[in-house]
Structure 1
Amino acid sequence: MTTNTTERVALVTGGSAGLGLALSRELARRGWRVITDGRSEEKFKEAGLPGTVTVVVGDLTDADHRDRLQAEVERHGRLDLLVHNASTLGPLPMRPLGEVDVADLMQVWRTNVGGPLVLTSALLPWLRDADGVLLSISSDAAVQHYETWGLYGASKAALDHVTLTYAAETGLRAYAVDPGDMRTAMHQDAFPGEDISDRPLPETVVPHLLALVEARPEPGRYRAADLGGDRS
């Protein structure tokens, strides 16, 4: 496979809000060609992403949607960065493990682990050709044990494992990054009725992620707070 552009190309899943939106905006501002996706066309209209960003509306768990993402990567001609940001908390309100069932598990697993796994496999030729970076957004719940966070935490632990196994199997630079608490709609969903205004905005995390992408250290699991970049 031969790349047909010298501009760096990124695919960021879940780019209609929160960290995915902030990251897509900043990448575009820095001159990257960005592809992003999300389930809500209305949210993308509200997001006001630059016209240079390619938006593909759909659900990552849908095979046809993943095919459209792959087609966009092929059209752009290369892939330097794949960011698995799209995720779900599962059924709300979040419940203890003793109160969830297989259907709940499958909902979380398909979005947080299955979709990223098969999308990565489909895009490996482009990532390898560009010597690209695989970046998965993790959580402290992947390594800590919080009441009602069992399904989500287990899925993020699995995503970490899948991501770093890709590094072992392919030689790609692959990272699982815990961004820390953020002031996002998903975080608010996890704490209904609580004031989360003290959490940092997702825009403050983006410089740390991009510092990691540029530095390209050894594959591994990182905390955004420990990485370079200005989080002010």
Structure 2
Amino acid sequence: MTEVSTTREHAFDGGRRAVVTGASSGIGAETARVLAKDGWQVVLLARRQDKLEALVDEIESSGGVGSYVVCDITDEESTDAAVRRIIAEGPVKALINCAGGAIGKDPVASADLDDWRAMYELNVIGTLRITQKLLPTLKESEGTVLIVSSTAGIEPYEGGAGYCASKFAERVMARVLRLEQIGEPVRIIDVSPGMVKTDEFAVKRFGGDADKAADVYAGVPDPLHAGDIAESIRWAVDLPDTVDVDSLVIRPRAEGSYTKLDRRS
């Protein structure tokens, strides 16, 4: 079981309180910053305690309110413990599912089954697990489930079958949950980013090979950054509770599709 811990105790006022998964880096971390700046009380979930501690300190030094729970959403006991702690501290208005990742770019014929399994456990099963556990309290607060999927779940590409399939599954999960919750006081939002340049995503995908990671963005003018997606998330969850942004696709101007890029030498 993954260790669970939090920072300083906070007296949450029952207002806008958001749980952000994958909050130790990339889109998750930037979303936490943006929401905290906008007045949300943020609860950060990820596996790396040092990253979470540093981010909460940063948020609070800027006048925001934040706490964290060390949580591995691929682990049932870890997620159960985290959710119990979160619910004990007060209502939740939004769940922002940012945790996810890609592993490798091998063709289907030679892909590693463990790589596929790991992507499904994190991107699909992990998202499902935390969503199921927080859905009842989100309904009580007329809240929002937001899933950060990917344009990889819209248009597959060579070498990306495992990742694309997992992101397609996430998008289908969001769409079906939206249909199943009609009449219930909860919104279901899917945000599908295209090319986003972050410090870790591509590096992790290629097993730490920084050169391969850099090649992904080489020559592409102005790829998106995590802050662009975070601002889109902030906008979507700040709309009135009765307004549901079913699906939001966000790409840099230079990207028409995965295979249609303005890539300059």
Match of 1:114 among 125, 132, 152: 125
Match of 2:193 among 179, 186, 191: 179
Structure 2 CA distance for aligned equivalents of residues 107 and 225 of structure 1: 26
Structure 1 pair 130/118, CA: closer, same or farther in 2 (3 Å)?
Answer: same
Deviations 1:84-130 (A, max 9, x none): 1100212xx42112112432222111100101112111111111001
Match of 1:201 among 214, 220, 225: 225
Structure 1 partner of 2:26: 18
Structure 1 pair 16/99, CA: closer, same or farther in 2 (3 Å)?
Answer: same
Structure 2 partner of 1:150: 161
Contact 1:11–1:79 (CA under 8 A) maintained in structure 2 = yes
Shift of 1:44: 3.0
Structure 2 CA distance for aligned equivalents of residues 6 and 38 of structure 1: 23
Structure 2 CA distance for aligned equivalents of residues 105 and 188 of structure 1: 17
Structure 2 partner of 1:162: 173
Whether 1:30 and 2:42 are equivalent positions in the alignment is no
TM-score, structure 1 as length reference: 0.86
Greater alpha carbon shift after TM alignment, 52-61 vs 104-113: 52-61
Structure 2 CA distance for aligned equivalents of residues 225 and 207 of structure 1: 13
**SS at structure 1 position matched to 2:196:** coil
Greater alpha carbon shift after TM alignment, 21-30 vs 171-180: 171-180
Shift of 1:50: 2.1
Structure 2 CA distance for aligned equivalents of residues 75 and 49 of structure 1: 24
Match of 2:59 among 39, 50, 54: 50
**SS at structure 1 position matched to 2:68:** strand
TM-score, structure 2 as length reference: 0.76
Structure 2 CA distance for aligned equivalents of residues 181 and 24 of structure 1: 20
Structure 1 pair 109/199, CA: closer, same or farther in 2 (3 Å)?
Answer: same
| Structure with max Cα Rg | 2
Q: Which amino acid aligns with 1:210?
A: R
Structure 1 partner of 2:247: 221
**SS at structure 2 position matched to 1:89:** coil
Structure 1's unaligned 5+ residue stretches are 227-232
Contact 1:35–1:72 (CA under 8 A) maintained in structure 2 = no
Structure 2 partner of 1:88: 101
Structure 2's unaligned 5+ residue stretches are 1-11, 206-211, 253-265
Whether 1:70 and 2:70 are equivalent positions in the alignment is no
Shift of 1:193: 4.0
Question: How big is the alpha-carbon RMSD for the aligned residues of Structure 1 and Structure 2?
Answer: 2.2
Contact 2:192–2:249 (CA under 8 A) maintained in structure 1 = yes
